[in-house]
Amino acid sequence: MEILQPKSDGIYLDLTFGGGGHSEQILKLSEPNGIVIAFDQDLYAIDCALKLKETYKDRLIAVKENFSKCYVKLLSMGYSLVDGIIMDIGVSSFQLDDAQRGFSFLKDGPLDMRMSKDNPISARIIVNQWSRYELENIIRDYGQERFAKKIAAKIDERRAKATIETTLELANIVKEAIPYSFYKKIHPATKTFQALRIVVNSELDNLKEGLVNAIKLLKPQARLVVISFHSLEDKIVKNIFKDYSQRKIVTILTKKPIVPSLDEIKANSRARSAKLRSIEKTGGTYD
């Protein structure tokens, strides 16, 4: 919020509404007339937004849409430029905590991982129908998992006997493929689940498109704040910010990413891998 500097009469985008924490802070700090347009593709998040709307009325506008489509969507709504944007990338806590969403390797639930139920591709389809080599590539490239080949082989072996249906089934298969000596601070299935989630939801492609469209929507001197939780996401943010900075379209406000303090990590362990980067628009509109 210190970077975003919400003000009354400003129009702000929360492109990843989630549980609404960022939107609510912006609404409070931009009283009495600031407006937040909140995007999320998850119906649960939209329900949360509608509940928050009971308090903030017309100052909060909820849009069920992937943030990658923000530019075209805002133009269709009659908005062309905004005073600030926040993007908090990745899976939401409520998605992790609900076993039925299939994101967590700690709770048994269906292999799903879709952020939007409109998505025809689920983790179950990828795990059971994609080739062993595709699985290996996914787990290696998007999970940065050194045991990708062994994990893919173990999945292939197990699914030949019966369809892999649940999160705990998959987590146990992954555990079997990784030597115990490599169990470190994170659960052995962490990287595999992360890789599948990224592919199911086209997260990296959406991030690239969303960043470009978000920068288009910024007024001169307006700011974009991005929080990422994965090194591949952070690399995309860093490179796009660098490219637009070299083109004199934006100024980078965070030469190095801002990371959580030890106290914050103690209070919220899920913040441990967060990196925040920010830019300020220097020019006007552009193609």
Token output for 271: 């913040």
Token output for 126: 């990828």
Residue 58 known to bind ligand: no
Residue 187 known to bind ligand: no
CB-side exposure of 97: number of CA atoms within 13 Å?
7
Residue 5 known to bind ligand: no
Residue 20 known to bind ligand: yes
Q: How far apart are CA 10 and CA 36, in angstroms?
A: 9
Residue 95 known to bind ligand: yes
Residue 129 known to bind ligand: no
Residue 40 known to bind ligand: yes
Which residues fall in the annotated binding site? 20-22, 40, 67, 88, 95
Which residues fall in the annotated binding site for S-adenosyl-L-methionine? 20-22, 40, 67, 88, 95
